[in-house]
Amino acid sequence: MADLSITPANVVAGSNATRDIGTAGATITAGQAVFLDSATNKWVLSDNNGTGTRQVKGIALNGASLNQPISVLKDGDVTIGATLVPGAAYYLSATPGAICPVADLATGMDSILIGLAKSASVLSVEIQDSGVTL
């Protein structure tokens, strides 16, 4: 298995999406996992290998460069722009901003569920951090 191969132009929030808006603290692409950095109050990439970045608060709905506006899906459905396995669980990857299937979680990574696939293209985002490091 591998990280989802997301086509940013195909990332679209569902009608049940809860969104937030803010400012990008780095270059972000639509479909990447992000969190709000409390020190800068800017959205940055989540990373399961990083220190202080092992958290997810949403999925970027648009691309943005540093200090540009960004819209973030915090909960609800998103057409993720990638091929999913219906019913499968997807987690924060060790690649910054990436999303992976559970099979890609490795020792030392945190188990942070991003959502479950409702279909081959729709991810139902309901972020849950188990607090468990594998």
pLDDT in tens, 84-98: 999 999 999 999 999
Local structure of residue 28 (DSSP, 8 states): B
pLDDT in tens, 62-121: 999 999 999 999 999 999 999 999 999 999 999 999 999 998 988 888 899 999 999 999
Q: Which fold has domain 8-133?
A: Virus Head Decoration Protein; Chain: A, (2.40.300)
Domain extent listing, the chain: 8-133
Separation CA 48–CA 38 (nearest Å): 18
Residue of 111, 105, 29 lying closest to 72 (CA atoms): 29
Q: % helix / strand / coil in the chain, to the nearest 5?
A: 5, 45, 50
Residue of 124, 121, 126, 128 lying closest to 6 (CA atoms): 121
